């Protein structure tokens, strides 16, 4: 089993963090993993994407160019990457940020108004986690308990209160039927 | 018969390569005497520059490291940070310290690097044959300022002690000369003070020694001393530009949150 | 020990501390940033020295000073910074003192780009400064191998009294992978014969120096250094081979690019193309004998690099041009894709039959 996952959006949308959570989940389950950020000189607001490969085999190239699973949080990323999803793959789109729709029928696309859902539930900046919740719900690659462990590992003590918020965001995504 | 005068132990028993009348010999001896008198030869590491004193590693009996041109304060920083128990000094000329090594000099000083810098200033690049140095005086003829240094095109000489005395990390910045017995004695006193500063962890200490270069100045040794007194010292006034206990002098800055040096 | 997820840069820094590195001198530059930031945090807590110098030039000379005292010391930078360090690297090599230099390569020339590249192959293996000298160049291709090679780098440097470079790149530095830190007890080689750390009035003074005013003395010194180099070439070359035994086409690639190449080789095998991968782990010494052995059944060689073709020179020299060697690479910070490499393999396979 190999999952090649690409997460993309603007800097500051928590792209790398969401990718990191997936990577940690895989670590807890003893998988081979590579997590690779694209990096730019702009600290915030630049183009940002993150390649995560999870596999039972040693991983070759860590760059995910043709993802099995794509998570997009902005329009430019949608335009750039929707065409690259492997046939049979799945795409998770923040429809509050992306107006476009794909005409591809060989992939499954889930439009989730993640930013809107997060804002409506006092979970500002939680769109990344909402989409992650949808991804986990649709693929079942990791359980929510595993994600909680990953959150605990990646949340500094002084921000521990955000763990429950993130779990709520995860559930919102999972429950969204759109 | 009691021995009244002999080679300091920390000076090697070898023939120096310096030209007749060059004052490097005096300054080497002063440094060696201080090392002997403080009993620190076995725990001292010297760093030589590129320039006339490049071979100083053959003359001092303590362990020595030869640095790239201008980098002696960085090399000395590496030695001192790796081994704070060692006494570390650099021995540098004006081209080395005040031109190519300006950044290393200024930053070692501003970090309050706990080292001793012996700065021999004779206003010329001696080793390469008398080119214009950062400390060459206005109007002075050298091989690369053949019509005399013109500040309009070649800029002005650098007054190193004055510049470094503005930095909070500098504990001691003093300019002396080796033109007369009283000045030579004063120079030794200041070199000792610099090493004592280091032992107390007081920060960056620089002793600038105005010196001569008879060969490249085109003067006899005696005439060179006269020029040093009549032309150089007036442009580079002797004296103590800074002499502080770092902790006291920087009390305000340290109170603002900096870790104590 | 349990596996942890770490970026290549951070894992390298942690491995250096565990390997007994006592001093780090550096200057900020992307994409090696995480390495120095990690050490800035950890070194003071773990009995080491972290110092941010005023320039790369100063940093490498601080390394010279600390190395001169016989202390385990390192610096890290990225391509433009390594150019600045080359002066000091030449002096360190000429003074026969050991240290570790890390280059997390980025695109060039000039300010170039901050994306991954392997454009410093020539610089690392042939031109790290003026004069006749070599560095041992280690080129890991995973975060785990970065960790494993750090200890080896320090040990090799001390064994042969020379600087060692670990050649990483932006991709390897920024990538996170699970990594395990082997239990090691750092053992520093005896340096009492040369280190300038105070005579204690018990011995002749030591001089750490690269200046020899007599040409014959310098020649003698350089020749002795080359005797050591010969021994290193004989005994220290390292390489990994993958599916080379029956391969018609051997792909040569190092560092991060070798992972792309491996993906391409796997895809090619799935199509029935008999491809294999040869990956030098030491770039100097270049694993010549190992390459020849790996190519014993090959009809063609393809050098894949993140540059315009640099290692290919060493591949051709090692093979004495007995096989056709072609090149595929992307440059400027662009990472080649497995697909592109596969396309090259398809072309070569057609040509070879």
Contact residues on chain C for A20, CB-CB shorter than 8 A? 5, 176
- Domain shared by C121 and C171, yes or no: yes
Query: Is the CB of C61 less than 8 angstroms away from the CB of B74?
Result: yes
Spatial separation of the C-alpha atoms in residues C61 and C91, rounded to whole Å? 9
Query: Is the CB of A61 less than 8 angstroms away from the CB of C266?
Result: no
Question: Could you give the percent of chain C with pLDDT greater than 70?
Answer: 99
Query: Is the CB of B79 less than 8 angstroms away from the CB of C68?
Result: yes
Expressed in angstroms, the distance from the first to the final Cα of chain A is 28
Per-position DSSP letters for A130-165, written without gaps between them = HHHHHHHHHH-SS-HHHHHHHHHHHS-GGGTTHHHH
In three-state secondary structure terms, B22 is: coil
- Domain shared by C282 and C329, yes or no: yes
- Can you list the alpha helix ranges (DSSP code H) found in chain C? 8-18, 33-42, 56-68, 79-94, 121-126, 143-160, 170-174, 215-235, 255-270, 288-294, 311-319, 338-352
> Average per-residue pLDDT in chain B?
96
Chain C 178-237, CB below 8 Å of chain B: which residues? 196-202, 205-211, 213
Q: Which residues touch B138 (CB under 8 Å, ≥6 apart)?
A: B148, B149, B150, B151, B156, B157
- Domain shared by C202 and C321, yes or no: no
E strands in chain B = 44-48, 63-66, 87-93, 116-121, 124-125, 131-132, 170-177, 204-210, 239-243
Domain count of chain A?
A: 1
Q: Pairing state of beta strands C249-252 and C275-280?
A: parallel
The mean pLDDT of B175-192, rounded to a whole number, is 98
> Residue C322 is part of a domain; what is its CATH number?
3.40.50.920
Give the number of other CB atoms < 10 A from CB of residue B107: 19
- CA C67 centroid distance within chain: 19
Q: Given C193, C215, C235, which residue is the final one in a domain? A: C235
- Domain shared by C131 and C183, yes or no: yes
Q: Pairing state of beta strands B116-121 and B87-93?
A: parallel
The mean pLDDT of C67-95, rounded to a whole number, is 98
- Domain shared by C210 and C267, yes or no: no
Q: Which residues touch C69 (CB under 8 Å, ≥6 apart)?
A: B45, B78, B79, B82, B83, B86, C195, C196, C197
| C-alpha torsion angle, residues B146, B149, B154, B155 (rounded to 10) | 170
Query: Is the CB of A60 less than 8 angstroms away from the CB of C260?
Result: yes
Does residue B260 surpass a pLDDT of 80? no
Any idea which residue has 């080793």 for tokens?
B127
CB-nearest partner of A23 from C5, C31, C115: C5
Cβ-contact C157, C136 below 8 angstroms: yes
State residue C30 phi and psi, 5-degree precision. -85, 140
The mean pLDDT of B72-90, rounded to a whole number, is 98
> Residue C50 is part of a domain; what is its CATH number?
3.40.50.970
From the number of C-beta atoms within 10 Å of its C-beta (0-12, 13-18, 19+), residue B201 rates as: middle
Query: Is the CB of C114 less than 8 angstroms away from the CB of A39?
Result: yes
Q: What is the pLDDT of residue B216?
A: 96
Q: What is the pLDDT of residue C187?
A: 86
Domain membership of residue A13 as a residue range = 2-175
State residue A162 phi and psi, 5-degree precision. -75, -15
Does residue C253 surpass a pLDDT of 90? yes
> Residue A43 is part of a domain; what is its CATH number?
3.40.920.10
- Domain shared by C267 and C188, yes or no: no
Spatial separation of the C-alpha atoms in residues B18 and A165, rounded to whole Å? 76
CB-nearest partner of C174 from A20, A39, A61: A39
Q: What is the pLDDT of residue C353?
A: 44
Tell me the CA distances in angstroms from A53 to A69, A148, C145, C175, C177, one per residue in order.
10, 20, 18, 11, 10
The mean pLDDT of C266-286, rounded to a whole number, is 98
Does residue C16 surpass a pLDDT of 70? yes
Question: Could you give the percent of chain B with pLDDT greater than 90?
Answer: 92
Q: Which residues touch C331 (CB under 8 Å, ≥6 apart)?
A: C107, C117, C119, C306, C307, C308
Give residue B85's pLDDT band: very low, low, confident or very high (50, 70, 90). very high
Q: Which residues touch A28 (CB under 8 Å, ≥6 apart)?
A: A146, A149, A150
Q: What is the pLDDT of residue B261?
A: 43
Q: Given C212, C235, C258, which residue is the final one in a domain? A: C235
Give residue B254's pLDDT band: very low, low, confident or very high (50, 70, 90). confident
Q: Given C178, C200, C235, which residue is the final one in a domain? A: C235
Per-position DSSP letters for C299-321, written without gaps between them = SEEEEEESSSSSHHHHHHHHHTT
Domain membership of residue C119 as a residue range = 4-235
Spatial separation of the C-alpha atoms in residues C81 and C309, rounded to whole Å? 22
The mean pLDDT of B197-220, rounded to a whole number, is 97
Q: What is the pLDDT of residue B256?
A: 79
ipTM confidence = 0.95
Domain count of chain C?
A: 2
- Domain shared by C135 and C79, yes or no: yes
- Domain shared by C198 and C246, yes or no: no
Spatial separation of the C-alpha atoms in residues C301 and C243, rounded to whole Å? 14
- Domain shared by C223 and C328, yes or no: no
Does residue C7 surpass a pLDDT of 90? yes
Averaged pLDDT, groups of 10, chain A, 178 residues long: 95 94 97 88 70 96 96 95 97 97 97 97 96 97 97 94 96 92
Q: Picking from B59-63, B126-130, B257-261, C108-112, which range would have the lowest pLDDT averaged per residue?
A: B257-261
> Which of C132, C139, C278, C341 lies closest to C219, judged by CA?
C132
Domains of chain B as residue ranges with CATH: 24-253 (3.40.50.970)
Q: What is the pLDDT of residue A110?
A: 98
- The answer to whether A and B touch (≥3 CB pairs < 8 Å) is no
Taking the Cβ of residue C52 and every Cβ of chain B, the question of whether any pair is shorter than 8 Å is answered with no
- The answer to whether B and C touch (≥3 CB pairs < 8 Å) is yes
């Amino acid at each position: 089993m190999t999952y090649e996952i690409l997460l993309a959006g603007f800097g500051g949308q928590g792209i790398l963090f969401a990718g990191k959570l997936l990577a940690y989940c895989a670590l807890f389950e003893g998988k081979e993993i590579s997590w690779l950020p694209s990096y730019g000189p702009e600290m915030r607001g630049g183009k940002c994407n993150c390649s995560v490969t999870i596999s039972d085999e040693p991983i070759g190239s860590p760059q995910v160019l043709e993802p099995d699973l794509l998570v997009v949080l902005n329009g430019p990323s949608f335009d750039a990457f929707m065409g690259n999803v492997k046939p049979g793959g799945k795409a998770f789109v923040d429809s509050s940020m992306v107006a476009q729709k794909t005409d591809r029928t060989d992939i499954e696309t889930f439009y989730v108004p993640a930013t809107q859902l997060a804002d409506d539930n006092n979970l500002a900046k939680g769109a990344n986690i909402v989409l992650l919740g949808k991804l986990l719900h649709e693929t079942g690659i990791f359980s929510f308990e595993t994600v909680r462990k990953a959150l605990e590992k990646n949340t500094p003590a002084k921000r521990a209160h955000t763990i429950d918020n993130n779990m709520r965001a995860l559930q919102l995504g999972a429950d969204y039927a759109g | 018969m009691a021995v009244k005068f002999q080679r300091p132990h920390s000076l090697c028993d070898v023939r120096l390569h310096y030209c007749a009348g060059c004052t490097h010999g005096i300054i080497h001896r002063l440094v060696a005497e201080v090392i002997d008198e403080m009993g620190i030869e076995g725990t001292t590491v010297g760093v030589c520059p590129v320039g006339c004193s490049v071979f100083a590693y053959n003359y001092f009996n303590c362990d020595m490291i030869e640095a790239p041109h201008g980098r002696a304060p960085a090399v000395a920083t590496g030695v001192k940070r790796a081994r704070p128990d060692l006494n570390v000094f650099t021995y540098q000329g004006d081209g080395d310290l005040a031109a190519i090594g300006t950044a290393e000099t200024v930053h070692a000083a501003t970090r309050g690097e706990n080292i001793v810098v012996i700065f021999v200033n004779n206003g010329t690049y001696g080793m390469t044959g008398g080119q214009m140095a950062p400390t060459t005086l206005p109007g002075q003829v050298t091989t690369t300022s053949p019509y005399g240094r013109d500040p309009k095109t070649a800029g002005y000489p650098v007054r190193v002690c004055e510049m470094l005395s503005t930095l909070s990390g500098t504990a001691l910045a003093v300019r002396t000369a080796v033109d007369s017995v009283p000045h030579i004695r004063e120079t030794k006193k200041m070199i000792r003070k610099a090493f004592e500063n280091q032992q107390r962890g007081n920060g960056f200490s620089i002793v600038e020694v105005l010196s001569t270069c008879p060969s490249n100045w085109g003067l006899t040794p005696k005439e060179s001393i006269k020029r040093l007194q009549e032309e150089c010292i007036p442009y580079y006034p002797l004296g103590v530009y800074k002499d502080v206990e770092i902790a006291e002098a920087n009390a305000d800055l340290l109170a603002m949150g900096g870790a104590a040096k | 020990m349990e596996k942890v997820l770490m970026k290549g840069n951070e894992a390298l820094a942690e491995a250096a501390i565990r390997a007994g590195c006592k001093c780090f001198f550096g200057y900020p530059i992307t994409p090696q940033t995480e390495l120095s930031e990690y050490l800035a945090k950890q070194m003071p807590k773990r009995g080491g020295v972290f110092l941010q110098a005023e320039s790369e030039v100063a940093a490498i000379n601080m390394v010279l000073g600390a190395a001169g005292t016989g202390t385990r010391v390192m610096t890290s930078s990225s391509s433009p910074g390594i150019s600045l360090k080359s002066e000091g690297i030449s002096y360190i090599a000429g003074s026969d003192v050991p240290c570790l230099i890390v280059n997390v390569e980025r695109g060039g020339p000039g300010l170039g780009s901050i994306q991954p590249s392997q454009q410093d192959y020539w610089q690392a293996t042939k031109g790290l400064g003026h004069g006749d000298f070599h560095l041992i160049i280690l080129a890991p291709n995973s975060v785990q191998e970065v960790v494993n090679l750090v200890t080896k780098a320090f040990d090799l440097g001390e064994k042969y009294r020379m600087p060692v470079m670990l050649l990483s790149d932006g991709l390897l530095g920024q990538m996170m992978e699970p990594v395990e830190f082997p239990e090691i007890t750092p053992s520093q080689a005896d340096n009492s014969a040369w280190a300038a750390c105070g005579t204690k009035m018990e011995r002749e003074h030591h001089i750490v120096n690269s200046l020899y005013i007599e040409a014959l003395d310098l020649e003698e010194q350089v020749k002795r250094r080359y005797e050591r180099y010969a021994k290193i070439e004989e005994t220290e070359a390292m390489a990994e081979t993958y599916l080379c035994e029956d391969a018609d086409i051997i792909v040569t690639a190092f560092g991060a690019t070798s992972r792309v190449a491996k993906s391409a080789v796997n895809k090619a095998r799935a199509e029935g193309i008999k491809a294999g991968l040869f990956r030098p782990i030491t770039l100097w010494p270049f694993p010549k004998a190992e390459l020849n052995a790996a190519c014993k059944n090959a009809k063609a060689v393809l050098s894949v690099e993140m540059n315009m073709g640099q290692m290919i020179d060493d591949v051709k020299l090692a093979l004495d041009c007995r096989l056709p060697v072609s090149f595929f690479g992307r440059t400027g910070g662009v990472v080649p894709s497995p697909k592109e490499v596969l396309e090259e393999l398809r072309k070569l396979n057609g040509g070879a039959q």
